[in-house]
Amino acid sequence: MPELPEVEGVVRDLRPLVVGKVIQSVRFSEVVYRGAAQGKQSIVKNAEPAYFERVVQNMRIASIERRSKYIFFHLEKGGESFLMLSHLGMSGAWFVVHSMEEITELKFRKHAHAIFTLNSGELLVYSDIRRFGELRFMKEIADHAPLLKMAPEPFDDTALDYFLMKCELPKYAKKPIKEVIMDGQVISGCGNIYATESLFSTNIRPTRKANELTDQEKRALFAAICEVLQESIDNGGSTISDYRSVNGGAGGMQDRLKMYSRKICPQCALSTEAVVIAGRTSTYCPHCQK
């Protein structure tokens, strides 16, 4: 699943391509309509696809920002402001092209589920191979309750104190620290890849309970999370499987990962182990991480 750095890369690529342009129309795939007819809300959430298609017509894309793992498209029409929310799920990708043939990877062209026609003549396309992503049209953030529970951005001045406070709560204190730092209500945007890397860089075993870590360890871990997130942003994110930045671009951070999915520890050269935590496979070194 794309994490904070990957989503940040998509936002940075999209801004110069679509901000200031007007959505003339949008059409969704048959998969979206079929899902809605069956009550499954495939990709398009909290609104009927036909309503979504109609309401965004002639809306101007005023700005785009990232919040945690979400993309916020701020829209304007008739002096009013609206929000289109995008979550990439496991395999979502955005393209800005003049024709669908410009999407060179067949799997993304085949699984294009939302095609926005812009007043520039370009197409803003959302593709999603596994269809775990989502698009929501809203008036404001409060229309989607989970957004109100997101932790501060990890680079915010308040984020460290917020993290330390959350670790002390009964809800989190006895959970594995790996599960805690992947929780978006504790730290925004840190998923399996960067949680694995930050725990390795601080020699902390992912199965340790949050309340077993010293204050010094927690502070070092938080600093490591911020460091690896920034490193990944600087290197275009990690393309592990289906992640692509805008127009099919791949990241370079996957070549810099030290522990994620590794069989041999780069620090001691011994075999790593893996354990499932919160439904995700967590690779660690039993010799270096205590």
What amino acid positions are annotated as catalytic residues? Answer: 2-3, 69, 280
Q: Which of 88, 153, 76 is nearest to 114 (CA)?
A: 88
Q: Which of 259, 179, 228 is nearest to 3 (CA)?
A: 228
Q: What is the dihedral of CA 41, 43, 45, 51, to 10 degrees?
A: -90
Please state, in angstroms and rounded to a whole number, the distance separating the CA atoms of residues 103 and 80: 33
Strands of 21-87 (E only): list them.
22-28, 44-45, 59-67, 70-77, 80-87
Burial 42-81 (b: 16+ CB within 10 A, else e): bbbbebebeebbeebeebebeebebbbbbbbbbbebeeee
Taken in order 229, 6, 40, 147, the sign of the CA dihedral is positive
